[in-house]
Structure 1
């Protein structure tokens, strides 16, 4: 596994990890969830297992996440989409013949859907784990203290067991509202597969079912599964489904 710092389109560096040798016929961009990183358990599981099946991987950190050198002032949806494009371009450099796919978790899945809808993606296959298809709703109900800090300082510090506390600005919240995947996404943009826990306490299972039905995604609902799909046997099932999908 190789570590690199990619140059973003917005003046900062993007930490990434990849397993690419240049000979791959397939490569998967691994896009982490909100408050997580390129080194999440799911990302590490994929970067260890997929290359054994001839599938290269590249994972990167969003602004203000993981080893990113910038804070939440750079955390916007457009910057996240730009960084995804930079990571995709790096795959093109390292493995020019590889067919590109996307594995997105939660906020990463939401970002992938926006990327497919708004940019010119090189890939046409996306696997969505615990997809936060209603991401804009998740931050609309702020505490009184959060709302007061937002009004007085222009940002709020949020820590919901994240790897590092996140500085979230009003511009970020407005950005979320402007990127509603139910409004922006269009059926047929990509081959979509979804896996979701029936007891997901963060990303609504009902919203996942509605999205899959509306846009023709294949959805596997895991009984008793939480948002992280971390119960015994569930990570292995996610890996099995993803490997089958990308093969």
Structure 2
């Protein structure tokens, strides 16, 4: 089943989608799903993940949500602090309203970065963490897309409209926060046994070698998927990735 709802907290309204078997009271484990930059909770791959998760593990549910300025979220200006705040709000909801005994994370691209940044700053609330094509160097990935004109406007303290299908207001502060939040320098060895990375060998946006270096340094298992691009557009390769992640989170 799918349930659309909003979490309204301190002036924020987080748009959510819950995938579960039949009975909300039967949920014991919640996987929080974080999408990539410019994406949303409504991805078909999120639906496929949620359906496969609760079909295989009856007491599991997947909770996807729109990051600020993404999907149906009402925000217009993007900030890294609000992205992390949304994650905290969803975490609190899983604990206090769904009464989850265990909470897991599944982050794709920018979503994977946010999970790792949250852990570095707040500690690790997740029983297990799976990441697909994590944007470990998100500052470089996004700043490389800026035009000279956009760079000039940001340097002058002006806002620019930035994104893919949906454009959002972004300032220099956002990029400065990304630059200062370097993930590769952090130590995640304490959580390594409970982490998994799945990454495509043909990723055109985030080089798999970056993930491999991060995995090697932190002794994290990395599953390379031959021929997969950044969004895993090949449905067979996406199915393979989802199968590996569902199996890992449900072990």
Aligned partner of 1:113 in structure 2 is 116
Q: In the TM superposition, what are the counterparts of 1:6-85 in structure 2 within 5 Å?
A: 6-9=7-10, 11-20=11-20, 21-53=24-56, 54=58, 55-72=60-77, 75-85=78-88
- SS of the residue 2:26 aligns to: coil
Q: Deviations over 1:98-152 (max 9, x none)?
A: 3111000000000011112111442131100011111111133332121233245
Matched, 1:243 2:249: no
Displacement of 1:185 after TM fit?
4.0
Q: RMSD between aligned alpha carbons? A: 1.7
What count of residue pairs does the alignment treat as equivalent?
A: 242
Question: Contact conserved, 2:31 with 2:62, CA < 8 A, in 1?
Answer: yes
Displacement of 1:85 after TM fit?
1.1
Displacement of 1:156 after TM fit?
1.6
Question: Contact conserved, 1:192 with 1:216, CA < 8 A, in 2?
Answer: no
- SS of the residue 1:123 aligns to: coil
Deviates further, 224-233 or 20-29: 20-29
Structure 2 residue ranges without an equivalent (≥5): none
Deviates further, 188-197 or 167-176: 188-197
Q: 1:187 aligns with which of 189, 192, 197?
A: 189
Q: Measured at CA, do residues 124 and 118 of structure 1 come closer, stay the same or move farther in structure 2, by a change above 3 Å?
A: farther
Q: 1:176 aligns with which of 178, 201, 215?
A: 178
Matched, 1:209 2:181: no
Give me the TM-score of the superposition, normalised by structure 1.
Answer: 0.92
Q: In the TM superposition, what are the counterparts of 1:98-177 in structure 2 within 5 Å?
A: 98-141=101-144, 142-152=146-156, 154-159=158-163, 162-177=164-179
Structure 1 residue ranges without an equivalent (≥5): none
Displacement of 1:76 after TM fit?
1.9
Aligned partner of 2:4 in structure 1 is 3
State the structure with bigger RCO (CA 8 A, min sep 6), 1 or 2: 1
**Separation (CA, whole Å) in 2 of partners of 1:76 and 1:172:** 6
Aligned partner of 1:224 in structure 2 is 227
- SS of the residue 2:189 aligns to: coil
- SS of the residue 1:22 aligns to: helix
Give me the TM-score of the superposition, normalised by structure 2.
Answer: 0.90
